[in-house]
Structure 1
Amino acid sequence: MQQFIDAAPGIRLWTEPRGPVDAPPLLLVMGAQATGVGWPEPLVDALAAHHRVIRYDHRDTGRSTWSFEEQPYRIADLATDVIAVLDGLGIGRAHLVGMSLGGMLAQMVLADHPDRCLSATLIGTSTLSTTPYTRPDGRTVPAGELPGIAPEVLELWSRPVEDHGPAAEVARRIEHWRVLAGDQLPFDAEYFRALEHRVIAHTGHHRTSTAHGRAEHDGMLRTEQLATNEVPSLVICAPAEPVFPPPHPHHLAQCVRGARLVEIPGMGHALPPAVQGPLATAILAHTGAATG
């Protein structure tokens, strides 16, 4: 059942809890411009068999307040929204699972509010640390010199987002997913078409906000806090990742003290059916060990 949370003056966030009320809470934090509906139903159901799972819409996505044009905010404010969701639902501590930008927000919460975290799972993201990456041969690489975003992704992101109607918007999003999914698994266009139709039905319109790309990114580094982390943390390695390609996940696992690394074969920067089962298994093994 959906519930709205007042996260800040004039800001309401859509949330959807699922699973037993008395089960350990697990909060799903999606990526930039992505709604909570972007978390696949089978994955949510698999997690909800063991957890009280909460997914939510960021500001300027889905059914949450679209406010950036009148009330600009920083990316750091999206991290405070994570705590606001927990507070609004009366949750003291939760397992966090963050995807892409959501993985960065989870790192910020991990660093700033470790007392609110039962565990953290970081997917398709990059570290908020300036610590160099240590290669298997022992040599170090400055964090800023790790591989960048794939050219085909950058080219797609450089195109202006224009409104040519719902059908054209769905087609644009499918092409976006084709590039993000990587090249190691067959691309299922119909799966992503159905996903985007659900997102549009949930949101109530087909418009896409660019707010998260324009929000200030200052104040996000957490080098020291991540290096002294004590919260059980898992980093998911996606070998076909085009946004934060390996060794970004290996670097992240080095920066977050005590973090484990698990690879999901064929995974890119998307959650198609082929990766949902292995991902659920990895997350549940991690949260189960952390919960004790």
Structure 2
Amino acid sequence: MQQFIDAAPGIRLWTEQRGAADAAPLLLIMGAQATGVGWPDPLVESLAPHHRVIRYDHRDTGRSTWPFEERPYRIADLAEDAIAVLDGLGIERAHIVGMSLGGMLAQMLLADHPDRVLSATLFGTCALSTTSYTRPDGSTVPVGELPGIAPEVLELWARPMEDHGPEAEVRRRLEHWRVLAGDQLPFDAGFFRSLEQGVIAHTGHHRVSTAHARADDSGMLRTEQLAANRVPVLVLSGPAEPVFPLPHPQHLAQCVNGAHVVEIPGMGHALPPAVHTPLADAILSHTAAVR
């Protein structure tokens, strides 16, 4: 079922729900510039027998309002949009799953709205904390010295965004996914081509916004609140992750009180078919334990 939610004056967000209406809600929060349909259908379908699964389009993605050029907003507003989605659908509390920027937004929800969160699963992201990382040998690493984004990703992101038509845009996105997926699993070009063709069809055009990269990211740190967390949190570790590589997942779990880490073999910063089953299994094991 599809529905539009009024998140703020002049801001409408596209949402979709799958699964039984009386099942425990599970809100999927995608990364920067990514639509809700960036959550692959097979993964959503594997979660839907157990949950009322909700995915949605951020502002400036998909079928939601694209307001940034006239009315710039803060990253923090995207976190509040997630709460607006729950409010608009009449949901008091939900399990949340956040990938990449979505994982950061999920941390903000843990810190600012813990009463709305049944559990959280975070991956492909970094801690919104200034706490140092403690290695297994007991030595510490300041946050600023943790491994950064892989050079090949930075090079790709530095290229100018030029419109050469929809087919060229699909090819550009395929190259992007090839780099983000890492080098531990065979790259499924057919899957990602179909995914991006679906995103373009869903959106109605092939244009790409850079709003989230330009949005005000001040005030995102939640060091003390995460250290005092009481919500069950699962951190998924991708050994091929090129954006927030190891030990970022371990650091995140250290920063969020009570969090634990599960590795998804071969996973990078993408959701190819090979990770759908282990990813769904990990999420469902976590949410089932909370219920």
Identify the residue that residue 189 of structure 1 maps to in structure 2.
189
Identify the residue that residue 138 of structure 1 maps to in structure 2.
138
What's the TM-score, normalizing by structure 1? Answer: 0.99
Identify the residue that residue 288 of structure 2 maps to in structure 1.
288
Query: Once the 2 structures are TM-superposed, how far is the Cα of residue 144 of structure 1 from its aligned partner?
Result: 1.0
SS where residue 250 of structure 1 aligns? helix
| Distance in 2 separating the partners of 1:58 and 1:275 | 24
| Distance in 1 separating the partners of 2:285 and 2:260 | 12
Query: Once the 2 structures are TM-superposed, how far is the Cα of residue 123 of structure 1 from its aligned partner?
Result: 1.1
Identify the residue that residue 206 of structure 2 maps to in structure 1.
206
SS where residue 235 of structure 1 aligns? strand
SS where residue 172 of structure 1 aligns? helix
How many residue pairs get aligned? The number is 291
- Tell me which amino acid in the other structure corresponds to 1:23: A
SS where residue 90 of structure 2 aligns? coil
Query: Once the 2 structures are TM-superposed, how far is the Cα of residue 42 of structure 1 from its aligned partner?
Result: 1.0
Residue 114 (1) aligns with residue 114 (2): yes
Residue by residue over 1:163-222, the C-alpha shift from the partner in whole angstroms, topping out at 9 and shown as x without a partner, is: 000000000000000000000000011110000000000000000000000001001000
Residue by residue over 1:77-131, the C-alpha shift from the partner in whole angstroms, topping out at 9 and shown as x without a partner, is: 0000010000000000000000000000000000000000000000100000000
Identify the residue that residue 87 of structure 1 maps to in structure 2.
87
Identify the residue that residue 35 of structure 2 maps to in structure 1.
35
| Distance in 2 separating the partners of 1:185 and 1:72 | 38
Residue 60 (1) aligns with residue 90 (2): no
Identify the residue that residue 274 of structure 2 maps to in structure 1.
274
| Distance in 1 separating the partners of 2:232 and 2:49 | 21
SS where residue 258 of structure 2 aligns? coil
Identify the residue that residue 23 of structure 2 maps to in structure 1.
23
Query: Once the 2 structures are TM-superposed, how far is the Cα of residue 229 of structure 1 from its aligned partner?
Result: 0.3
Unmatched 5+ stretches in structure 2: none
SS where residue 4 of structure 2 aligns? strand
| Distance in 2 separating the partners of 1:137 and 1:78 | 38
Alignment of 1:219-238 (within 5 A): 219-238=219-238
| Distance in 1 separating the partners of 2:54 and 2:5 | 12
What's the TM-score, normalizing by structure 2? Answer: 1.00
SS where residue 118 of structure 1 aligns? strand
| Distance in 1 separating the partners of 2:5 and 2:128 | 27
SS where residue 20 of structure 1 aligns? coil
Query: Once the 2 structures are TM-superposed, how far is the Cα of residue 67 of structure 1 from its aligned partner?
Result: 0.5
| Distance in 2 separating the partners of 1:52 and 1:23 | 5
SS where residue 97 of structure 1 aligns? strand
Identify the residue that residue 165 of structure 1 maps to in structure 2.
165
| Distance in 2 separating the partners of 1:109 and 1:190 | 35
Residue by residue over 1:42-85, the C-alpha shift from the partner in whole angstroms, topping out at 9 and shown as x without a partner, is: 11011111000000000000000000000100000000001000
- Tell me which amino acid in the other structure corresponds to 2:197: H
| Distance in 1 separating the partners of 2:188 and 2:85 | 33
Unmatched 5+ stretches in structure 1: none
Residue by residue over 1:138-169, the C-alpha shift from the partner in whole angstroms, topping out at 9 and shown as x without a partner, is: 00000111000000000000001100000000
